């Protein structure tokens, strides 16, 4: 067995860093949740592992940087993928000035636009799931992603991006979100308006929203 160090115990998976076939890799292993019904748990872990591996590879084809998938082990519900030597955007944001925040979020908006155009939604667009390396942004953790051209799913994706900015980076959330939308619309073109209208609807659907916010 390859040598592995636990680097992150996330909500649904454990991430180990190690060497595999001469590569610097991440082992993403979905762990059994003792609090979850056994059948439900197995189903969720297997289906998410297999789907995530596909989405990671497919995204690259849409010119969205993601880790390279080397191996998928469905019995262990594990994905072996390349390690990205960078920092999560969440950690970098506080040190960034307005100009680079704008640049980054225009770029991120374009990436999300390319995913949506290509029939993929990420499903968990938080700044912890974006790794910055040499000025490039890598999307990781497609565990909640899906193949869909559905307006609702696209809307939820954008809604989550906005919510993450508001909850974790609210002092720059407006600038970041506006830049995100400007990048997104450059790829999505006329479809942008429809998505944004849905984002507004999703926001109002939260049961207690006062007026338009």
Partner 1 sequence: MSSVQHVLGIECTAHTFGCGVVSSEGTVLSNSKAEYVPKTGGIHPREASQHHAAKASATIRDALKEAGLRLSDVDAVAFSAGPGLGPCLRTGATVARMLSLLSGKPLVPVNHCIAHIEVGRMVTREEDPLVVYVSGGNTIVSAFSDGRYRIFGETLDIALGNCLDSFARSLGLGHPGVPKLESLANEGHSFIPLPYVVKGQDVSYSGLLTMAVRKIEESDPRDLSLSLLEVAYGMLAEVTERALAHTEKPSLLLTGGVARSPRLQRILESVCQEHSSRFYVVPPDLAGDNGGMIAWAGYLALKEDLTVPIETSYIRPKWRLDEVEVPWRR
CA–CA separation, 115 and 154 (whole Å) = 10
Does 109 bind partner 1 (CB under 8 A)? Our answer is no
Does 67 bind partner 1 (CB under 8 A)? Our answer is no
Does 37 bind partner 1 (CB under 8 A)? Our answer is yes
Cα 61 to Cα 52, 65, 115, 153, distances in angstroms: 15, 9, 10, 21
Cα 79 to Cα 30, 65, 157, distances in angstroms: 9, 17, 23
Does 10 bind partner 1 (CB under 8 A)? Our answer is yes
Instruction: Pick the binder of partner 1 from 126, 179, 185, 192 (CB under 8 A).
Output: 126
Mark whether 124 is an active-site residue: yes
Nearer to partner 1, 53 or 144 (CB): 144
Give the shortest CB-166-to-partner 1 separation in angstroms: 7
Does 128 bind partner 1 (CB under 8 A)? Our answer is yes
Nearest-CA neighbor of 82 among 174, 17, 136? 17
Give the shortest CB-160-to-partner 1 separation in angstroms: 4
7 Cβ contact partners less than 8 Å away, ≥ 6 residues apart:
15, 16, 17, 26
Does 33 bind partner 1 (CB under 8 A)? Our answer is yes
Does 76 bind partner 1 (CB under 8 A)? Our answer is no
Q: State the catalytic residue, choosing from 75, 124, 134, 141.
A: 124
The set of long-range contacts for 90-98, using a CB threshold of 8 Å and a minimum separation of 24, is: 90/126, 90/127, 90/128, 90/130, 90/168, 90/169, 92/132, 93/127, 93/169, 93/172, 98/172, 98/175
Size of the site for partner 1 (CB under 8 A): 35
Nearer to partner 1, 135 or 206 (CB): 206
Q: Is there a contact between 115 and 140 (Cβ–Cβ < 8 Å)?
A: no
| Segment near partner 1 (CB under 8 A); pick from 20-28, 55-63, 71-79, 166-174 | 166-174
Give the shortest CB-41-to-partner 1 separation in angstroms: 8
| Segment near partner 1 (CB under 8 A); pick from 40-48, 53-61, 67-75, 112-120 | 40-48
Q: 79 — alpha (psi -120 to 50), left (phi > 0) or beta?
A: beta
**Residue 126: DSSP 8-state:** -
- Contacts to partner 1 by CB under 8 A: 9-12, 33-40, 43-44, 123-126, 128, 144, 156-157, 160, 163, 166-168, 170, 202, 205-210
Active site residues: 124
């Amino acid at each position: 067995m390859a040598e592995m160090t636990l680097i992150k115990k996330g909500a649904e998976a454990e991430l180990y860093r190690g060497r595999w076939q001469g590569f610097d890799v991440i082992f993403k292993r979905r762990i059994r949740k003792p609090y979850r019904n056994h059948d439900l748990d197995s189903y969720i872990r297997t289906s998410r592992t297999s789907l995530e591996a596909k989405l990671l590879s497919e995204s690259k084809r849409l010119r969205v940087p993601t880790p390279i998938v080397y191996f998928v082990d469905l019995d262990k519900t594990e994905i072996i993928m390349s390690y990205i030597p960078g920092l999560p955007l969440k950690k970098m944001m506080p040190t960034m000035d307005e100009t680079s925040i704008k640049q980054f979020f225009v770029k991120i908006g374009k990436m999300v636009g390319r995913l949506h155009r290509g029939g993929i939604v990420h499903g968990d667009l938080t700044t912890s799931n974006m790794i910055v390396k040499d000025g490039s942004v890598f999307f990781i953790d497609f565990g909640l992603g899906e193949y869909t051209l559905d307006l609702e799913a696209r809307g939820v994706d954008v809604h989550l991006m906005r919510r993450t900015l508001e909850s974790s980076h609210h002092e720059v959330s407006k600038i970041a979100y506006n830049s995100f939308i400007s990048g997104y619309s450059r790829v999505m073109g006329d479809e942008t308006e429809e998505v944004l209208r849905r984002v507004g609807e999703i926001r109002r659907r939260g049961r207690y929203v006062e007026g338009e916010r």
